[in-house]
Chain A
Amino acid sequence: QQPVQSPQAVILREGEDAVINCSSSKALYSVHWYRQKHGEAPVFLMILLKGGEQKGHEKISASFNEKKQQSSLYLTASQLSYSGTYFCGTESGRAAGNKLTFGGGTRVLVKP
């Protein structure tokens, strides 16, 4: 079953912050985050393994609450280059062999 992302879209001014959420109905082994710009392939941002860790990529960070089966992506002091569609991908277990199920995506537009 597909993880649920919210919000579906967000518009920011340069320098503002935003949070994107990803929720799953299944127990999770890992959560991946990707960004896709229009007409391009998704690009890997970071991966979080169960254990509640938090990671960062530039001024983009993420957390993973294993018990709630949720992950959040934090865009801090957003830049124009952060515009794109963000996808979370969830892995339910190592037995699944690194197979990811992607959420529906969150469109982010950062304006000057």
Chain B
Amino acid sequence: DAGVIQSPRHEVTEMGQEVTLRCKPISGHNSLFWYRQTMMRGLELLIYFNNNVPIDDSGMPEDRFSAKMPNASFSTLKIQPSEPRDSAVYFCASSQNDQGARGYTFGSGTRLTVV
């Protein structure tokens, strides 16, 4: 299995531009999570999906952030317009959410720099 695949690995953009981060979860995993990691705030959950349905987006900072999961094998996180404070590493993770709790598999992350 190729694991959780994220793209791009690095993104440098100017303030005000739209940024789209992509994620392909592990086949068969029905839960998908978007986390943001910074030195100041650590690993923060932004949003998660179960069976392609958004369950909790309370961690999404503001309306500039949006996420979609149109099918079981693809999700996007969009920031429009981007701001310097959005600079962080964004991780996508997937898990099999069934009767027993399962661990997450994280993607390699997207390092976003907004200048």
Cα separation A41 to B48 with both chains bound (whole Å): 18
Chain A interface residue count: which class? 20 to 34
Residue in chain A with minimal CB distance to B98: A98
User: Which residues on the B side are within 8 Å of A87 (C-beta)?
Assistant: 43
| A105 at interface, CB cutoff 8 A | yes
Cα separation A41 to B92 with both chains bound (whole Å): 10
User: Which residues on the A side are within 8 Å of B42 (C-beta)?
Assistant: 2, 102-105
For the complex formed, measure the closest distance between the CB of B13 and the CB atoms of chain A, giving whole angstroms.
Answer: 21
User: Which residues on the A side are within 8 Å of B100 (C-beta)?
Assistant: 49
| B85 at interface, CB cutoff 8 A | no
Closest 7 A/B residue pairs (Cβ): A44-B103, A41-B106, A102-B43, A98-B97, A30-B101, A104-B42, A42-B106
| A112 at interface, CB cutoff 8 A | no
- Interface of B, helix, strand, loop or mixed by DSSP: strand
Q: In the bound complex, do residue B103 and residue A32 qualify as a contact, i.e. CB atoms below 8 Å apart?
A: yes
Q: In the bound complex, do residue B101 and residue A98 qualify as a contact, i.e. CB atoms below 8 Å apart?
A: yes
Q: In the bound complex, do residue B103 and residue A99 qualify as a contact, i.e. CB atoms below 8 Å apart?
A: no
| A47 at interface, CB cutoff 8 A | yes
Q: In the bound complex, do residue A32 and residue B104 qualify as a contact, i.e. CB atoms below 8 Å apart?
A: yes
Cα separation A82 to B113 with both chains bound (whole Å): 30
Residue in chain A with minimal CB distance to B97: A98
Q: In the bound complex, do residue B101 and residue A40 qualify as a contact, i.e. CB atoms below 8 Å apart?
A: no
Q: In the bound complex, do residue A49 and residue B45 qualify as a contact, i.e. CB atoms below 8 Å apart?
A: no
User: Which residues on the B side are within 8 Å of A46 (C-beta)?
Assistant: 103
Residue in chain B with minimal CB distance to A91: B101
